[in-house]
Structure 1
């Protein structure tokens, strides 16, 4: 009964974290702004940190199955 929500949460967190890391890396590589109105370095660091955190949370949710 608990595996349904864990799979959904794991998939959502993993996809969002991977997407955020991909978005951040592509924008940094193209030297375009990562976030509108933010400094390039600050936005890249925060995007990477939160992307990795969401990815780790998704992997953690999958281990709870």
Structure 2
């Protein structure tokens, strides 16, 4: 019974992390800015760090079921 919310949270974190990773990759490849008002390198690195963190948290939650 307690694994339902954990599975939902893990899936949400993993999907958000994967989506952010994909979006950041597309922005970097096309040369589009990743965030407004921030340098390209800083925005890309920050987005990649958060994407990896969210993806890792989602995988960790799903693996602990």
Q: Distance in 1 between matches of 2:55 and 2:42?
A: 20
CA-based RMSD of the aligned residues comes to: 0.6
Q: Which residue of 2 aligns with 1:39?
A: 39
Paired residue for 1:52?
52
Name the TM-score, length of structure 2 as normaliser. Answer: 0.96
Runs of 4+ aligned structure 1 residues displaced above 2 Å come to none
TM-score w.r.t. length of structure 1: 0.96
Which stretches in structure 1 are left out of the alignment for 5+ residues?
Answer: none
Stretches of structure 2 that go unaligned for 5 or more consecutive residues are none
Q: How many residues align?
A: 65
